Amino acid sequence: MFTLPIYNHEGKEVDTIKLNTEVFDGTQNEDSLHQAIEAYRAGQRKGLASTKTRGEVSGGGRKPWKQKGTGRARVGSTRSPLWRHGGVVFGPHPREFSYEIPRKIKILALKTSLNTRLKENNFMILDEFKVDAPKTKLAMNVLANLKLFSAKEKKAKKILFLTHKLDADLKKALRNISFLTVDLAKDCHAYEVMSSQKLLITRSGLSDLTERLK
């Protein structure tokens, strides 16, 4: 059983929590994680590439020359794929790349991603993310107190912040932080967790996530 400290917005440890062993059991299933990530990335693809066949290219309705007697090869249209400005043979057309995978695989992949961050010591629990005003500077101060960000570092690590709910002030305070991704705990997925380097989650968000995955 994993026991983690809970920090407040000032970076001080205020409590500890024992993680649910049904979710945070330390096991990792790389096959399910691979399937979930590939399915997510396929769903993000936009199949907009499009070409025109000889029947879709404008023009070419008249036969260039008669069938026989000219000494040249027989041609029925100037839009033949063999000609310049002609149609394309077997070219790409708009298509849908997304596909569905079983729900159990999605859940197993998300558990794997969470256990991965936990084993790397990149899993941090926050009691509550508090800002007095919708200002980015205040949100950055909270991250600095948690030692997730330092002004001296030239490049900050990518952070995923999961919470139970997101009010308007907090949303405005966090939206301009380039290295921070914000999402609700009930909506997060394996790709989101693995694409970040550190995971920050509120106590209530952890409760939502645990209930979802049990």
Residues 27 and 132 in one domain: yes
Residues 134 and 36 in one domain: yes
Residues 163 and 174 in one domain: yes
- Mean pLDDT taken over the chain: 93
What whole-number percentage of the chain has pLDDT above 70?
A: 99
Give the residue with greater pLDDT, 154 vs 37: 37
Kindly tell me if the per-residue pLDDT of 161 is higher than 70.
yes
Task: Please state the rounded mean pLDDT for residues 107-127.
Answer: 95
Task: Please state the rounded mean pLDDT for residues 117-146.
Answer: 93
Kindly tell me if the per-residue pLDDT of 150 is higher than 80.
no
3-state SS string for 88-105: CCCCCCCECCCCCCCHHH
Q: What are the counts of helices (DSSP H) followed by strands (DSSP E) for the chain?
A: 6, 6
Domain boundary among 96, 131, 157: 96
Kindly tell me if the per-residue pLDDT of 166 is higher than 70.
yes
Question: Which residue has tokens 């209530």?
Answer: 204
Residue-level pLDDT at 26 = 87
Burial of 89 (0-12, 13-18, 19+ CB in 10 A): exposed
- β-strand pairing of 123-126 with 3-7: parallel
Domain boundary among 35, 69, 96: 96
Residue 156 binned pLDDT confidence (cut-offs 50, 70, 90) = confident
Residues 58 and 129 in one domain: no
Task: Please state the rounded mean pLDDT for residues 185-208.
Answer: 95
- pLDDT tens for 70-108 read 999 999 999 999 999 999 999 999 999 999 999 999 999
Residue-level pLDDT at 149 = 82
Total count of domains within the chain: 2
Residue-level pLDDT at 154 = 62
Domain that holds residue 79: 46-96
Beta strand ranges found along the chain (DSSP E):
3-7, 13-18, 123-126, 159-163, 180-184, 198-202
- pLDDT tens for 49-77 read 999 999 999 999 999 999 999 999 999 99
Domain boundary among 96, 113, 131: 96
